[in-house]
Amino acid sequence: MEAGVRWTLITAIAPVAWGTTYFVTHEYLPAGDPLYGAAIRALPAGLLLLAVRRELPHGSWWWRSAVLGLLNTGVFFALVYVAAQVLPTGLASTIMATSPMVMMMIAWGLVAERPHVRHLAGAGIGAGGVALMLLTGAASVAPLGVIASVAAMLLSSLGYILAKRWGGEVDVLASTSWQLIAGGLLLLPFAVVVEGAPPHLDGPALLGFGYVSVVATALAFAAWFAGLRHLPAATVGLVGLLNPVTGVLLGTVIAGEVLTVRQLCGLVLVLAGVLLGRPVARKARAVQAVGSVR
């Protein structure tokens, strides 16, 4: 199988898994404790990956893990948790759908990956497809949720590109575990001060956190950072648009929702945007070669 296609499919594990988190968070996880929710999600996932890889940070990776832990896991998880509780899923997903464009601009500055016209077109088409698929204008908009979603999108976009810039020096499972543990540990003191005692978790909440931590965090972030190491940031960002597609299809399968013509058109546009970002074999090999010499 072509290397670019293989790594694209591996990367796709992440947004597909993330596409289920809004549903799980809204339906099963306790509301009102975003800091504890983020810490409970990050720490077990990081410890699980650390147990698999058994490697501790060294040198500059102590502070790099803290920075990436804040951007990619700690603050990001808390903001997403807030958005999932107070903002319509459609609007939150549409805001996050602008991430590919932001990632392209940051990657241009930090890792000298100049976006191609097809990547820019894919980002525009994909974001338009998400808006067409999810925005109805019927639900009320909470300013706090909008701010949380925008901040999450900006911080994570920066964090992903920094992880791409630094990641070639260490094993991807190790660096992912360090980020998750750092993010979770940095959140805990703030959770205690701001939210008090940990929330009570019943059976469904424990199962929900188990799924979110193992599948939508440990597995998903390992796949995502592996993709960033082997593919252009523009391609990875566009693959991330599968997140809202998963959410819509999940609603159809689980909640029995019927796909409208508008949603189907939006879904086609999103998939077209993702396909525009797929690297040709030559480009994929070039990116992999650069990553191997860093």
Q: What is the pLDDT of residues 198-221, one digit of tens each?
A: 988 899 999 999 999 999 999 999
CA angle 97, 225, 86 (to 5 degrees): 40
CA-CA distance, 154 to 211, in Å (whole number)?
26
Neighbours of 193 (CB within 10 A): 9
Q: Mean of the pLDDT values across residues 160-176?
A: 91
Check residues 255 and 165 and name the one with the higher pLDDT: 165
Q: What is the CA radius of gyration of the chain?
A: 18
Q: What percent of the chain has pLDDT over 70?
A: 91
Mean pLDDT of the chain, nearest integer? 86
Query: What average pLDDT does this structure show over 97-111?
Result: 92
pLDDT band at 229 (very low <50, low <70, confident <90, very high): very high
User: For residues 68 and 70, what is the distance between their CA atoms, to the nearest angstrom?
Assistant: 5
> What span, in angstroms and rounded, lies between the C-alpha atoms of 11 and 33?
30
> pTM of the full predicted structure?
0.85
Q: Is the pLDDT confidence value at 24 over 80?
A: yes
Amino acid identity at 192: V
Neighbours of 57 (CB within 10 A): 19
| Mean pLDDT computed over 222-239 | 93
Residue 255 confidence class, pLDDT cut points 50, 70, 90: low
Q: Which pLDDT score is estimated for 286? A: 44
Phi, psi torsion values for 168, nearest 5 degrees: -65, -10
> Which of 51-55, 91-95, 240-244 is the least confident region?
91-95
Cα four-point dihedral sign 249, 173, 101, 92? positive
